[in-house]
Structures are given as C-alpha cells and as structure tokens.
Amino acid sequence: MSPTQQAHEAHGDDHGHHGSRFIAHHYDDAQHQFDSGKLGIWLFLAQEVLFFSALFVAYVLYRSHHPEIYSYAHKWLQVKFGAINTAVLIFSSLTAAWAVRAAQLAQPKRLILCLATTILCACAFLGIKYIEYSHKYHESILFGRYFDPCVSPGGVDLLTKKNECKGVKSTIDWDAKAEKAKSGCFNVDKIDQDPHEPGLQADCTVIESVGATKRTIGDKCAEETIDETEGSPPIAKKFPCWRPAYQPAVCPDLVDGPGDQTEGTRREMGYASHHQVGVMVEYGDEEERGDDVKIAATCTDAPKPAAVAAAAAHDADKAKVLGQKAIAPIHHMTTHEEHELESMGPPPEHTSMFFTIYFAMTGLHGIHVLFGIGVFTWLLIRALKGHFTPDYFGPVDYAALYWHIVDLIWIFLFPLLYLIH
Amino acid sequence: MSAIEHHDDEHGLSHVASVKVLVGTGGTLLALTLVTVLATKLDFGANINLGIAMLIAVVKATLVILFFMHLKYDKLFHTVVFVSAILAACLFVGFTLMDSSQYQQTNIWHPDNPPTAPYGPRPTSG
C-alpha cells in the first residue's frame, strides 16, 4: 500500500484498496496516472512556448526594422493597466500554486478558496483588458486598415480617414488618391487649438470670432487676446486642417495667426517626426514668456531643415521688429522634450503594424486566460464535489502549470509592449 | 510508511511546495514588477533600458518555472522537454534577426508610379 493510500484511509475516504475512484484501471497505480498526465502537460507547455514564439519573432523582427514605430505607438498604451494586470496575474499564479499544495495536503476548504481566487483574478485581468480594448476601439487605435486614430498619444487631434471618432469632430471628406481633404474641417473649437501649426493644409475656411482665444494642447493651456481687432466684425480666415498622420507631408512655413498681433509672448517648436531635427523658437522676455505656451509642429516626412530654419529666421525677424530679444533656434532638444513633442505629432508610417502585433499577442494571450477560466471553473466544481484527494490531484496540478505559462508569457509581453523606452 | 509522511518533501505523488517558498516567490515577482516599471523612468539609452527590462523578465520567468511550476523538484526529463522548447524559441528569434538585414525595402506598388528596376516590370521587348 502506498503512503498516499494510507493517508487516504486515515481520512476516512473509503475507496478500498484502489485509492481514488478517478484512478483509471489501465494505470498501475495513482503514481503512474499522475506521471503520465504530468508528462503530457509538459509536452503541451513546450508546444505553447513554440506557439507563442512565432508571434515573438514577428515582434522582434518588426521592432528591429522600425524602432520609431514602437517608441511612438506604445505611448497609446497605459503602463498603469499593464502593471496592474501583471500584478493580478502573478497573484493568481500564487493562488494556483497554493491550490496544488492544498490538494496535495487534503485541505479542501483551502483548495476551493484558492481556485475561486484564481478565477476571480483571471476575470479581473480580462476586465482590465476590456477597458483597454474598448478605449482603443472607440479611438480607432486598431490593427491594419482599421488603424485610424482620432487623437495622438499626446492628446492632439488627428485628421482621420473615415472620421469615425467619438466627439465633436466635424466631417472630413478625404481624397485618398490626392492625399488631401476635399472638403470639411474640424469645428472651430478644435481649430482654435493650434492655428500656427506648420504641416497643415490651409484649405478650410472658418469664421474666427474676435476676443479671447483659448488654445489647448494636451493638458497645457494658453490664452491669447487679440486687442487690436477688438470691436471689429469677425474675420473670415483661412484655417488649416490636420493632415492625416500617415500621409507624407511637406512642412510649409508657419501659418500666421492671431498670436502675431499680440504684445504677449509666443514660443514655437518645430520638429520632424523621426526626431532628427528639433527647432525651438522663443521670443519675448523670460519673465513674460509663460512656460505653458507650447506648440507642437508636425511634419511626418523626413526633416525639412530648410523650411523649419526659414520659419525660424522669419520669426526672429518679427521679434526684432517688435523690439524683443530673439533666442536662437535650439537644435538639440532634451530627450524629454523630444518625447513630448513626438507624442503630440502624428504617428510615423505603418504604425498600424504595432497594433496588429499588439492585438495578436495580447488577444491570443487573452484567449488563453479565457480558456483558463473555463478550466478552473471545472476544477472548482469538482473540488466542491470533493473529487480531489492526495492520491488524485493531477488535474489541479496540470491546470496550475498551464496557468503559470500564461503568467510567464505575460511577464514578457508587459515590458515588450508597455514599457518601451 | 507513516514515518515517510512526516517528510514534507517526499510524501504523496509529487513535491509539495512550502508556504514560505510560494509566498516568497510571489512577493519577489511583485517586487520585480515594480522594479521594471521604475527602471523605465531612468534613461540609460534605448538598448540598455530594453536589456534591463528583459533581464528582469528572464529572472521573473525563472522564478515562476523553478518554484511555481516546481521544475526544481520535478523530473529531469520535464526540464529537458521545457528547456528545449525555450531554446528552440530563442533559435527562431535569433535566426530571424540574423538575416533580417538581407531584406529589401518594402515597395508599395502603384500603377501610375511603378518602382524602378530591379523591382519594376521587365521590359517587354518583342
């Protein structure tokens, strides 16, 4: 008689000499059955590693070719959610491992508690994933041709192809062949955000009211007052539209806007999206110049140093006319500034590939979690029926091993997708 | 027989992990998660930051495999099976990266503006 059978009988679970009734007769004994199952699950896990490795190959290959896409696109993902999900999965892995221990030591209450906690954690993981996915769905930050983002990671509105964004965007009729908007524009509120934007198309006419104009870029706010034109009727002005992110754009000179007429301060930054060039133009006194006026210029194309420099020189002249000190363009921005500007600009070409890979990897992982919930629910039902005993706990052990591999894969997915530097 | 049962490690069908090991592993994993998030706040350059993140991930994975998955106490054959799968996965990634510089640029075909030779259409002579 094996020690486990001995233990069994001591617990009064009377199955005679055969141990647990779940030990199939074609096995020599409980150990034989357990070992067979265990080998099977390890082979399955090996297959899972190979299965996921194909996606990791896609990830690594694409990242090595297009690092700029990864460093831009990951800013759409919230580290907070990824980190919470990592912690939730690690905790559920702990409870799964504890469930095995409880089954081995014939602690049915603890087993049920551990299994239930594991299921709850798995549901919490999927719940958080749902929040993330639905946000991306609403903002059209999706895979392949469904990638048509409404807002850049820095919170700046982007011109979209299909204009399926929630909120106040007005209609844009996009001519894909000519790569420009046929008609339509954002509403005035949106346009007001940034009339100085280079890299825009000046083919939309909107009426701008006179008075205080509030500009908001990301969470930074600046107010400009147009004094000189006060009292005069509203001026019809040509205002630019955003180009869609993924279309090559030429950077024209800075578009003149109401800011030029003010005595106040203005600070402009130009950049080329692949962060080769950054130009910052500032004029006005240090005291007068608020730090909060920050305008991101967007050029999706290769840097156009000539255009940006010309605009800078133009502004410097203007500053001289106003009798203010012109600060020379700064050609090297700090990493932080660069990142901030980058996140306000439109995404680089083929950014949709990041989300194709993101959804493929997290989606496949999510399906594994879903399957895990099913398995653990089945285990919970069996545990409630008292099926698991020290000589028959194989299913708990195998499911826990599966659950650990799900955790293991997330341990790699989290830094690779959310924590890109 | 009953004497064997007192050995926590030996009785039953397989190794029983102690609470200390389980909680210790879980705690270390959570701590390492925090470390890897905080490490991104520091700027060592893209490659070193990636290296740090991957190193932490590998340490975490090793902890999960050794203690949660009991591989440390399991049969050697299971280790052989699993480690060979991981090695194969590394081989896939490594081999793909090895020749990735051999790829050609993506050419988006446009009828009005066909790419030039050698990608373009062959000249139709005769």
- Per-residue model confidence as pLDDT tens digits over A44-59: 999 999 999 999 999 9
**How large is the average pLDDT for residues A318-341?**
48
Are the beta carbons of A368 and A9 closer than 8 angstroms? Answer: no
Q: How far apart are CA A76 and CA A154, in angstroms?
A: 9
Q: How confident is the model at residue A224, as a pLDDT?
A: 34
- Kindly tell me if the per-residue pLDDT of B117 is higher than 70: no
- Chain B residue numbers with beta carbons less than 8 Å from the beta carbon of A71 are 46
Spacing of C-alpha B69 from chain mean position: 16
Contact between chains at B57 and A412 (C-beta distance less than 8 A):
yes
Question: In this predicted model, what pLDDT tens digit does every residue of A278-304 receive, in sequence order?
Answer: 222 233 333 443 333 333 233 233 333
Test A104 with B14 for CB contact under 8 angstroms. yes
Closest by Cβ to A46, choosing from B14, B54, B81: B81
Quote the CA–CA distance of A274 and A305 in Å, as a whole number. 13
- The alpha helices in A214-334, defined as continuous H runs, are 305-321
What would the pLDDT profile of B20-34 be if each residue is shown by its tens digit? 999 999 999 999 999
Measured in angstroms, the CA of A118 and the nearest CA of chain B are apart by: 14
Q: Give B67's contacts in chain A (Cβ within 8 Å).
A: 97
Determine phi and psi for A235, rounding to 5 degrees. -100, 135
Q: Does residue B80 sit at the A interface (CB-CB below 8 Å)?
A: no
Q: Judge: A419–B88 Cβ closer than 8 Å, yes or no.
A: no
Look at residue A282 in the predicted model and tell me its pLDDT.
Answer: 31
Helix axes A352-384, A30-65, angle to 10 degrees: 170
HEC profile for A362-379? Answer: HHHHHHHHHHHHHHHHHH
3-class secondary-structure state, position A153: coil
Helices in chain B by DSSP H: which ranges?
2-5, 19-39, 46-63, 76-98
B window 35-64, beta carbon within 8 A of A: 36-37, 40, 43, 46, 49-50, 53-54, 56-57, 60-61, 64
State how far the Cα of B63 lies from the Cα of B26, in Å rounded to an integer. Answer: 9
Q: What is the pLDDT of residues A224-281, one digit of tens each?
A: 333 344 444 333 333 333 332 222 222 233 333 333 322 222 223 333 222 222 222 2
Provide the pLDDT confidence category of residue B12 given band limits of 50, 70 and 90: confident
Backbone angles phi, psi at B87, to 5 degrees: -60, -40
State whether A393 and B13 contact (CB < 8 Å).
yes
User: Do A404 and B68 count as a contact with CB atoms less than 8 A apart?
Assistant: yes
CA distance B93 to B90: 5
Residue A144 has what pLDDT? 86
In chain A, what are the domains? Answer: 28-144+354-418 (1.20.120.80), 148-344 (no CATH)
Rounded to the nearest angstrom, the minimum Cα separation between B126 and chain A is 34
**Domain positions in chain B:** 19-73
Q: Is the pLDDT of residue A89 over 50?
A: yes
Closest CB from A104, A408, A421 relative to B64: A408
Query: Inter-chain contact A390–B61, Cβ cutoff 8 Å?
Result: no
Could A101 and B1 be called an inter-chain contact, meaning their C-beta atoms sit closer than 8 Å?
no
Any CB–CB contact under 8 A between B31 and chain A? no
Q: From A199, A182, A300, select the one nearest A245 (Cα to Cα).
A: A300
Q: Where are the beta strands (DSSP E) in A68-196?
A: 172-175, 180-184
* ipTM of the complex, rounded to two decimals: 0.81
More confident residue, A294 or A75: A75
Smallest Cβ–Cβ distance between B89 and the set A4, A45, A53 belongs to A53
List, in sequence order, every beta strand (DSSP E) within A243-285.
266-271, 278-283
Identify all chain B residues contacting A397, using CB atoms and an 8 Å cutoff. 14
Give the pLDDT confidence score for residue A304 in this predicted structure: 36
